[in-house]
Structure 1
Amino acid sequence: MSTLWAFPGQGAQQPGMLHALPDAPVVQACIEQASAALSEDVRLLDSAEALQNTRAVQLCLLIAGVAAARLLSDRGHRPDYVAGLSIGAYAAAVVAGALDFADSVRLVALRGELMQRAYPNGYGMTAILGLDQGSVERLLAEAEGPVYLGNINAETQLVIAGSDPAMAVVAERARALGAACARRLAMSVPSHCELLAAPARELAAAFAKVELRSPQVRYLSGSSARLIRDPETLRDDLAYNMSRVVEWQATLVTAYERGVRLHVELPPGSVLTGLARRVFEPGQAIAFTGARLDTLDAMLRQEVSRDR
């Protein structure tokens, strides 16, 4: 049996998320490395005020995920698979040994700036729970104004992206159809749709100057739900994932079909853990956030001993 380390995307951010990480030397070294790469103190990015900015959110998610993964690695653990939802893919690529951490920090800073600049206000994302994909797509086809399918997180948990007025209309119609929830997310940009095609092309140009290596840990794309081994395919996956639909449910199913039975969600939050529990039964899903390190140690060692 195998282990998947999963890295969350935007919307999972929490004020103080970097300061809440364990006070371990490997964690502090990771934060210092990120600060050096940007020539600024990244500890200032996780305040409630700072997290209103897309650049700060994405950087904090990257740093928190990599720092926690390095802490687990320092304690003797190694994943069999990694995957990341949206910005989480960058942390996954770093942990897989395919992308240098300093390069990832600079690319993510640019990514956040490009996305924020393209849509400074009036756009975002809305989660719709309780309707299937076909029903949501019919609502989108009838909508006036820019609004698209962004995430397929579960069979009846989807996220749409677009302008606030268009999303509000779709949300209202979704509730009328019986949706359990239609809630605007803490996202200030319309990710994972064609509205971000132009920023993705700009990011791809920056990616062309960065070295990528073949992943040393199996990397599952959250956009295609496929295993990526080739560095150039990975470059495309990372640069353009902001403009591609997230296929997270399919990614979890692929992991399960490949023998993954332990899903560990890296910081912050536990949203991915809830999604994984629907797929990984009778396996296990646990979030780093809120768990004791000795509990994580025991679960990860148990999976290794089972493999033997």
Structure 2
Amino acid sequence: MSSLFAFPGQGAQQVGMLHQLPPDAAASLNEASDVLGEDVLVLDSEEALQSTRAVQLCLLVAGVSCARLLLERSPEPDYVAGLSIGAYAAAVIAGSLDFSDALRLVALRGELMQRAYPQGFGMTAILGLDQATVERLLAAAEGPVYLANINAENQLVIAGSETAMAAVAERARGLGAGVAKRLAMSVPSHCELMNEPARELAAAFAGVELRRPAIRYLSGTTARPVFDPERLRDDLAFNMCRVIDWHGTLRTAYERGVRLHIELPPGAVLSGLARRVFDQGTVIAFQGARLDTLDALLREEVSRTR
């Protein structure tokens, strides 16, 4: 039996997510503020979170700070994984990427994505149709629109222009989709529209040191472990333009013996997805749970493996 720390992606953000962190997270908040040269708490407001840069930085800081708090008292997880921007927090906790480098890269990532598509694009969730049906709708669509996330067998996300997404959503409802909902995303992530920003980010990555993960890192795009630092560099730099297979990532974790899934803040979106895969085991979110409860669960998993 083993454990997984899962870090959410954009769309999971909540106004106040940094202000609501435990008091002991102050050290990580101060570190982030020092690196960025600005108070990260200022990024955590309804107005500021209209910015892709602010959202991604807040998600990184929330995930890393809470994972650090847990690791101060608890055994390490066997695996880490992150959905989209969550991969950066996963790489930090795996010991592969310095928090300071992650902060600078994520700030640049958000700026590049926002600059490339300041308006008229985004992402839409479609629930209730399988992947093959959605892909047929995309193939017949007029305008740029692509498959972006495979979150579950019948929970998919598309990315593209507002008009193209709206047309696909309407056709999806006609085929029985229970939900076809525009997400709180102002950029078309995880498709070829992000190829150029990804190349620019990769250039910035060239001067950053990455190390072999000390905790096994699962890629949210390939749904496979990544051990080599250069492969990890590629995985992080280009995940903005690659389809996210979160369902496959969860299945890989389960098949490798993971029976404890802990979702780091903010929210519990990933926990809902994990419960569809983890027929046996425990799925719990940090937000709303007691630290001693999470500690006990991690220690129990360690004892089972001995």
**TM-score over 0.5 for the pair:** yes
Superposition map of 1:61-210 within 5 A: 61-210=59-208
Aligned CA RMSD, in angstroms, stands at 0.6
Residue 75 of structure 1: CA displacement? 1.3
Q: In the alignment, which residue of structure 1 is the partner of 2:295?
A: 297
Q: 1:290 Cα shift?
A: 1.2
CA contact (8 A) 2:261 2:282 kept: yes
Partner SS for 1:279: coil
TM-fit CA distance, 1:76: 2.4
CA distance in 2, matches of 1:306, 1:213: 29
How far apart are 1:296 and its partner, in Å?
1.3
Q: Is this contact kept in 1: 2:74–2:299, CA < 8 A?
A: no
Between 33-42 and 297-306, the greater mean CA deviation after superposition: 297-306
Q: Give the Cα separation in 2 of the matches to 1:299 and 1:140.
A: 43
Which residue does 1:3 correspond to in 2?
3
**1:84-114 Cα shifts (integer Å, max 9, x gaps):** 0000000000000000000000000000000
Distance 2:224 2:262 in 1: 19
Question: 2: distance between equivalents of 1:289 and 1:169?
Answer: 36
Q: Which amino acid aligns with 1:17?
A: M
How big is each residue's C-alpha offset from its partner over 1:44-85, in whole Å with a ceiling of 9 and x where there is no partner? 111111100000000000000000000001112311000000
Matched, 1:52 2:71: no
Output the CA distance in 2 between the equivalents of 1:16 and 1:179: 32
Residue aligning to 1:18: 18
SS at match of 2:125: strand
1:213 paired residue among 211, 214, 225: 211
**Per-residue deviation, 1:304:** 1.4
2:140 is aligned with what amino acid? E
CA distance in 1, matches of 2:198, 2:134: 25
Q: Which of 289-298 and 246-255 deviates more?
A: 289-298
2-structure distance, mates of 1:229, 1:220:
9
Structure 2 residue matching 1:278: 3-state secondary structure: coil
User: What corresponds to 2:31 in structure 1?
Assistant: 33
- What is the rounded CA distance, in whole Å, between the counterparts of 1:106 and 1:77 in structure 2? 29
List alignment gaps of at least 5 residues for structure 2: none
> What's the secondary structure of 2:280's corresponding residue?
coil
Deviation, structure 1 residue 294:
2.0
Q: Find the residue that maps to 1:131 and give its secondary structure.
A: coil
Superposed counterparts of 1:255-294, under 5 Å: 255-294=253-292
SS at structure 1 position matched to 2:276? helix
**Distance across 2 between alignment mates of 1:287 and 1:23:** 18
Structure 1 letter corresponding to 2:18:
L
Three-state SS of the structure 1 residue aligned to 2:126 is strand
User: What amino acid maps onto 2:268 in structure 1?
Assistant: S
- Counterpart Cα distance in 1 of 2:56 and 2:273: 21
Letter in 2 for 1:229: F
**Percent identity between the two aligned chains:** 75
Whole-Å Cα distance in 1 between the matches of residues 305 and 46 of structure 2? 43
TM-score normalized by the length of structure 2: 0.99
Give the number of aligned pairs: 306
* Structure 1: gaps spanning 5 or more residues: none
Distance in 1 (alpha carbons) for counterparts of 2:74 and 2:244: 31
Residue 298 (structure 1) shift: 1.9
- What letter corresponds to residue 123 of structure 1 in structure 2? F
**Shift in Å, 1:303:** 1.1
**CA-CA distance at 1:284 after TM superposition:** 1.1
